[in-house]
Structure 1
Amino acid sequence: HNAGYVNGIKKIHDGKYGDLVCLQAYWNGGGIWWRKGQEGWTEMQKQVNNWYHFVWLSGDNICEQHVHNIDVCNWAKNAHPVEANGMGGSEMRRKQAGGPTQLFDHHFVEFTYPDGTKMYSQCRHVSNVFNRVAEYAFGTKGNGGMTDKGDVADVGGVPFKFGDYDQEHFALVEAIRKGTPYNEGHVGATSSFTAVLGRMATYSGKLIKWDEAVEKGSDLAPGIENFTFESPAPVQPDEDGQYPIAQPGLYNPFA
């Protein structure tokens, strides 16, 4: 729904860079908010209010935020990775977050596509360091960014009239008005699970296969369909008020 990406990806698919051999995805930025909550709230209320800092709610920043860059790379490649390995940690998160958190503050993942093409993915939440939010493609004929200038007449028959967010809503409303099928769920699910695959790799430090992750991946919030604000939260603070953070080498991605 973004004209720059629509143009850029089309040119990549038309051979602008030749056969793709490598992709890079970045969302390296500063920190994120932290919400204390109110006196008398249940643990579940506190976690839902402060949702970014709980893996069962946000998925960590690789899933909540960096997924957008990962999605663009999958789009450029017209595929999803079959395996991932990576590393990450929480060097500064607890010092800079403002309170207890479960999240890593950096992830680096090497994703491998079915034909062996690599996507190198970086995301980070650390203050006062180098930042970059972008995607790059490298091919047999050249390399560069994923966006390009130019007008877009239509996408899938839907006229391109507005900016990103308005165009997204316009496409949905047009489909409703005309009674035509409109479902981007598969793309969203595939990109989301690519990010989950990356998190499983960084949390565990292991090589994670897509098919194995689909078959055996863990449920971070069992019984979520019946949760209320009085339900026990899926994770609980320790005696110091801290929440568990994944430890590579010890974390079991299939538990």
Structure 2
Amino acid sequence: MANHSLPKQRTVPTRREFLARSSTLAVGAALGTSALLRSAHAGGDETIKIALVGCGARGTGAAVQALSTSGPVELWAMADAFPDRLRGSLDALAATPNMSPRIKVPGERQFVGLDAYRQAIDSGVDVVLIAGPPGFRPAHFEYAVKAGKHVFMEKPVATDAPGVRRLLTANEDAKRRGLKIGVGLQRHHDPVYVDLVKRLQDKAVGDITFYRCYWNTAAPAKQPVKHDGLTELEYQIRNWYFFNWLSGDHIVEQHIHNLDVCNWLQGAPPVSAQGQGGRQVRTGKEYGNIYDHHFIEYTYANGAKMFSQCRQIPGCLNSVAEFAHGTRGWSDVGGGRILPTGEAELRLRTKGRARPGSTGSGNPYQKEHDALFEAIRSGSDFNEAENGAHSTLTAILGRMATYSGKEVKWDQALASQLMLTTDAEDFNASAPVAANADGYYPVAVPGISVAL
């Protein structure tokens, strides 16, 4: 696991500075917006050209949603580390109803390799959809912003603290340029969540004293790929989900959604975390170096707690949910229920939640793209990167606590110099982690491992 020092110009903000960043950068955010819009639609052409970077299932779904926004849009370029992933995505998009007329990706704009993102971004597009493994997210975002592109990026926005800081630095430039930035934390675009969060912040259950949130499921859909014939770096990227430098561990890659909701309700990220976790069932060498369960107690500045569970073990109780408990009742947040003490229950959700990759006017996965593309066309403010960074670092903070077995403060996590990732653009380069002689990768041991 690499541990590199950061470039000197990337200063480490305190928690107060981190939270204040959006307000200090607001002045001047609109500067250059009109010029950007004129550049994006030169000659009066209102067609927005899109590049997809990362052609897995989520990237393909994001492309469908971007191409389903109102107004003329085209998928102009695609990039992936692997040719089979790009081809599979292109075939799936072409087979999706109503998509073919909007797909303009000839062979010369199909880019393959670890550096393919640069070529796609430089191909004459207006918007970049960034959906490769999260470990590469800061580098891809940084390059897109330098190129003056609007961005939709999937969550999480990084897998380590240096990556969070790198992304925030790039986002300062994005704000100065007036670029529009969306992040795939779609609950912020779910009308039920939006309504319920406002009601809870308006004291529908009194002062909230603690939260419970869960991402407990069976094994993920992603299955390990065999090592045969692959370089070590290629093998790890093929199996990105099971390496913490690429996915952040499942607490960062998936549980971030639930942590994000609790932070949203609280209005700020936590100040500390302590917890425990490990590998109880998913212990084979093919599962890289991530845990299969985490439990964290987060503490907010006002003393409120967030009790967080995420587990990926078959045969156990499953739950993907958030709950808020107040002085005058409680709420099943994801279920859209508010239960004030001594009053009738209020139900806001009348049907099930949408699935990734689906479209429709009320679908939050679609609505997050609708909002981004509307902002691009209108020139209105739209930047979700800082919230994405808050929520990503909250998840990383929890991972630091479970990996180390210690209480970790927010400012410690934010200042961490432990760099997990690599900017390598050649499959023959060294991977950030190496297996031992038996093929097992080093797994964090609480009380022993350095995790921040």
Question: TM-score, structure 2 length as denominator?
Answer: 0.52
SS of residue paired to 2:423:
helix
CA shift for structure 1 position 144 = 1.7
Say which of 413, 418, 427 aligns to 1:213.
Answer: 413
- Structure 1 residue 23 corresponds to structure 2 residue 205: no
CA contact (8 A) 1:54 1:60 kept: yes
1:194-205 to structure 2, matched below 5 A, reads 194-205=394-405
Q: 1:50 Cα deviation (Å)?
A: 0.4
Matches within 5 A, 1:1-255: 1-32=189-220, 33-37=222-226, 39-94=228-283, 99-147=286-334, 148=336, 149=348, 161-221=361-421, 224-254=422-452
Contact 2:224/2:287 (<8 A) preserved: no
- AA at the equivalent of 2:248: G
Superimposed CA distance per residue, residues 71-93 of structure 1 (whole angstroms, 9 cap, x where no aligned partner) = 00000111100000000010101
Please report how far the alpha carbon of residue 34 of structure 1 lies from its aligned counterpart in structure 2 after TM superposition: 2.4
- Cα root mean square deviation, aligned: 1.7
Check conservation: 1:106, 1:124, Cα contact below 8 A.
yes
Count of aligned residue pairs for this structure pair: 242
User: Counterpart of 1:241 in 2: which secondary structure?
Assistant: coil
8 A Cα contact 1:81 1:114, kept in partner: yes
The change in CA–CA distance for 1:244 and 1:165 in structure 2 (over 3 A counts) is same
For residues 237 and 115 of structure 1, the distance between their equivalents in structure 2, rounded to whole angstroms, comes to 43
Once the two structures are TM-superposed, the CA of residue 100 in structure 1 deviates from its matched residue by 3.8
Describe the SS at the equivalent of 1:189: helix
Q: Secondary structure at the match of 1:137?
A: strand
- Give the secondary-structure state (helix, strand or coil) at the position aligned to 1:94: coil
Structure 2 counterpart SS, 1:99 = helix
Contact kept? 1:29, 1:132, Cα under 8 Å: yes
SS in 2 for 1:93: coil
- Which structure carries more relative contact order (alpha carbon 8 Å, separation 6+)? 1
Q: CA–CA distance in 2 between the matches of 1:139 and 1:241?
A: 49
Contact 1:86 1:108 in 2 (8 A): yes
Gapped regions of structure 2 (runs ≥ 5): 1-188, 337-347, 351-359
**C-alpha offsets along residues 88-118 of structure 1, whole Å, 9 cap, x if unaligned?**
01010125xx824211111000000011100
Amino acid paired to 1:167? K
Q: Aligned-pair distance for 1:229?
A: 1.3
Runs (5+) with no aligned partner, structure 1 = 152-159
Greater CA drift, 185-194 or 1-10? 1-10
Partner Cα distance (1:8, 1:217) in 2: 38
Q: How far apart, CA to CA, are the structure 1 residues paired with 2:248 and 2:372?
A: 27
In 2, distance between residues paired with 1:150 and 1:55? Answer: 35
Note the C-alpha offset of 1:36: 1.7
Q: Residues 275 and 296 of structure 2 are in contact (CA less than 8 Å); yes or no, is this contact kept in structure 1?
A: yes
Which is greater in Rg? Answer: 2
TM-score of the aligned structures, taking structure 1 as reference length: 0.91
Q: Determine the C-alpha separation between the residues in 2 that align with 1:197 and 1:189.
A: 12
Residue matched to 2:63 = none
**Displacement of 1:38:** 6.0
Q: Is the 8 A contact 1:37 1:49 kept in 2?
A: no
Provide the identity percentage: 44
